[in-house]
Amino acid sequence: MRKLESLDAFKCAKNTARSAYRLTLEQPLRQHYALSDQIRRSAVSIPANIVEGYVLGTRAQFVRYLRIALGSAAELSVHLELVEDMGLAVSSAARGPRELSDRTVAVITGLLKSLGARPARTLPAPRSPLPDQSRAGRVDST
C-alpha cells in the first residue's frame, strides 16, 4: 500500500473526495438530499476504486478499476457543475471541489496512458429516430 500512497492519482482522488463531501454538509446543498447523495457516492468511489484495482495485483485489473474511478470523477465534475449553475453552494466553495475533480480526471487519464492502457472502446453513435432524409418525399410501395 505504500506505493499506492505515493501515486498522485490516489492523493488527488482522496483530496477530491474530502473536499466534495465537505461541500455537501453545507447549506443550502445539504437540503438537496438526492444531489448531495450522488456527489458523496461519486466522490468516495474515486479513491475506493483506485485502491480496489491496486490490491487486485494485476495491471489489467488496476487499469479496469482506474477507468471506473475515471468515470466517477467525471460524474462528480458534472454534479459539481450543476451545483454551481443552480447556486446551491457559495460559488467559491463549489469551485474548489470542481477544480479538484477536473484535476483528478486529468491525473487518472495520465496514469492510464503511462500504464499503456488502450483507449476504452467507443460506443457506436446512436441512430436518429427521425426518418432518413434521403428517403424524404418517397412513398413506400408495400
Q: Which residue matches cell numbers 466553495?
A: 93
Q: Does the pLDDT at position 118 exceed 90?
A: no
C-alpha cell of residue 69: 474511478
User: Closest Cα to residue 22, out of 108, 76, 94?
Assistant: 94
Query: What's the pTM?
Result: 0.80
Tell me how far CA of residue 68 lies from CA of 11, 36, 52, 60, in angstroms. Answer: 17, 20, 11, 13
Question: Can you tell me whether residue 6 is helix, strand or coil?
Answer: coil
**For residue 133, what is the DSSP state?**
G
What average pLDDT score do residues 15-19 get? 97
Of 3-7, 46-50, 120-124, the least confident: 120-124
Q: What domains appear along the chain, each with residue ranges and CATH number? A: 2-119 (1.20.1440.60)
Question: Can you tell me whether residue 121 is helix, strand or coil?
Answer: coil
Share of the chain above pLDDT 90, in %: 68
Q: CA 68 to CA 87: how far, in whole Å?
A: 29
| Most confidently modeled range among 30-34, 103-107, 131-135 | 103-107
Q: What is the pLDDT of residues 61-114, one digit of tens each?
A: 999 999 999 999 999 999 999 999 999 988 778 889 999 999 999 999 999 999
**What's the pLDDT at 71?**
96
